[in-house]
Amino acid sequence: MKTRFRFLFRRLIPACLAGATLSLSANEDPAADRAAVLIGEVVERISSAETFSTDIVYRVDVRMMGMEQELESLYSFAFEKPNKLSSVLREGTMGQTIVSDGSRLFVHLPMFDVYTASDAPEDLDGLLGDVSVMGGEVMMVMRPLMTGGVNGVTLDSIADLAYVGMEERDGENLHRLEVRLRPDDIEERLGEQMREGMSEAERALFDGSNVAVTLDVWVSEGERPVLVEVRSDLTEMMRTMSGEVEGMPDFGEMEMEMAFVFRDWKIDVPHSDETFVFNPPPGAEEVDDLLAAVQEKAGGGQGPQPLLGEVAPTFSLEMLGGGEMALADHLGEDIVILDFWATWCGPCIQAMPALIDVADEYRDRNVVFYAVNQREGDAAVEDFIRAREWDLQVPMDRRGSVADQYGVHGIPHTVIIGKDGKVQAVHVGFSPNLRETLSGELDTILAGDSLY
C-alpha cells in the first residue's frame, strides 16, 4: 500500500467509527432506546471520570483470494483531567504514540521513527482539537467517550440503532448493539484541519465515498458498564472508494474488517508518575511536520534516498521453501533487484507483474530478482504466490531487519544494486510505467554507465 495513502487511510477509517455516541433523545423503538441508554451510561462513566486507563487492541483483518492477513497493534491508553494524555503503541507497527504531560505534547510515528514536540493545549477540547492528535486511530474512537458527545458527535450521526441481545464471550455476558452511521455525517466530523495539505484524490476519500458504516458494539453487563469491543466490516466502503477515487488501489477482491478491543479498564484510579512521560526511542528524529516527514521518508515528496551511490548493506535471509540467499554471493557477478513487499499491500501486487516480466527479460544478462517479503508467515505467502501463479524467489525478512537496513518506510520499495555492490536506483510505490523505467535503468547499467 503506497505509504501516503496508507497514512491517510489510517486517519479516515477510524474517523468513521468515531460517531456512535451522544447526545441522547427519545426513540419510539424500545430496542433502540435500550441501546441508547447503554451507550449513554458508558459515555457518562468515562467522560465524567477524573482519570481512567485501558489497554486497547487495534486489529485489521484483510481477506483476499481465500487467504487472510491480520494486522494488530496494542496500545496502553490513559487520561487525567484537564490535559494529561498517554496513548502509547506497545506492540505492532500500525499507529502512533501520543503523550501530553500537561505542559508538552509529543506525537511519535514508530513506522517512520519521527516525532513532534509542541506546547500542550490547556484543556481536553484543545487537546482533542489538535490535528496531530486527531489523526490517531485510537484517539478517533476514544474522543466520543472522553467528550460525552461534544464536537458535534450526536445521535444525529446515527441512521439506525438496535439492541441485538446478550452474548456470552470468554465466560462474560455482554450486551451487543448495532449502530449504523449516516454517510453524509462522516465528512462533518472530520473537520477542515485534517484536509490541509491533501491532494484532490485524497480529499475525495473523505468527501466522496457516500457509504454508510455499520458498527457492532459490545458493552459489559452490570450497573457500571464499559465498552468491550467495537467492530466494523469495511468491505463495502473500500470497494466503493476504489471504484470512485482515482489513484486508489483496486479492492475489488478484498474483504476488510476493523476492530477495537478494550481490556482492563481502571476508572478514577490514580496514575503513576511515569504514565505521562515521553522518552524518544533511540534514533528517533524530532521534526516540525509529521506529514511532510512521512512523505520525504517514503519518497512521496521526491526526497533524497540516502543509499543512492552507496554500497548496499549486505545481508543473508532464509528463502521461502528452503535454502538461503546472501547478497554477497552476487558481488561482481550480477545486478540485483530487491523488492520489499507484502501480500496485504495493494500497490505491491500491482507492481509485481512488471517486476517479474523485467526480471525474466534480463535473466540471461546476469540480472537477479528477489521479492523480499516483509514480516509475514511462510504458509500465507506460499498460498498467495501459488494462487497468482507467480514464479518468484522470496527471501523472508521476518523481523523487517533488512528493510530497516535499506531505509524502507513504505512498500513497495524497489532497489537496484549494480555488480559493484552500489545502489543504483530506488523506487517507492507503484508507477504505471514501472516496467519501462526499470528496463531503461538496467540498459544504462549494463552499458557500463551509472545512474547516480
In a domain, 452, yes or no: no
Checking 384-388 for CB contacts under 8 A at 24+ apart, the result is: 384/65, 384/67, 384/343, 385/320, 387/65, 387/66, 387/67, 388/65
Q: Which residues of 15-34 are buried (b: 16+ CB within 10 A; e: fewer)?
A: bbbbbbbbebeebeeeebbb
Count of domains in the chain?
2
Which of 272, 298, 324 terminates a domain? The answer is 298
Closest CA to 237 of 220, 251, 219: 251
Which of 298, 330, 353 terminates a domain? The answer is 298
Asked if residue 115 and residue 55 are part of one domain, the reply reads yes
Closest CA to 14 of 96, 101, 115: 96
Asked if residue 332 and residue 290 are part of one domain, the reply reads no
Chain segment 307-327, per-residue pLDDT in tens: 888 999 999 999 999 999 999
Contacts of 240 (CB under 8 A, 6+ apart): 209, 210, 211
In a domain, 110, yes or no: yes
pLDDT, residue 29, reads 64
In a domain, 307, yes or no: no
Asked if residue 331 and residue 249 are part of one domain, the reply reads no
Q: What's the CA gap between 444 and 452, in Å, rounded?
A: 11
Asked if residue 327 and residue 260 are part of one domain, the reply reads no
- In single-letter form, the type of residue at position 335 comes to I
In a domain, 378, yes or no: yes
Q: Taking CA 198 as the corner, what is the angle to CA 179 and CA 16, rounded to the nearest 5 degrees? A: 5
Ranges of residues in the chain whose predicted pLDDT is under 50: 1-26, 150-156, 185-202, 205-206, 208-209, 244-248, 299-303
Asked if residue 277 and residue 322 are part of one domain, the reply reads no
Asked if residue 60 and residue 195 are part of one domain, the reply reads yes
pLDDT, residue 11, reads 43
What CATH number corresponds to the domain at position 370? 3.40.30.10
What CATH number corresponds to the domain at position 94? 2.50.20.10
Domain that holds residue 114: 3-298
Asked if residue 129 and residue 7 are part of one domain, the reply reads yes
Asked if residue 142 and residue 11 are part of one domain, the reply reads yes
Asked if residue 425 and residue 392 are part of one domain, the reply reads yes
Provide the H-helix boundaries in 58-159.
124-129, 131-134, 137-147
Asked if residue 363 and residue 234 are part of one domain, the reply reads no
pLDDT, residue 127, reads 82
Asked if residue 139 and residue 250 are part of one domain, the reply reads yes
Asked if residue 165 and residue 44 are part of one domain, the reply reads yes
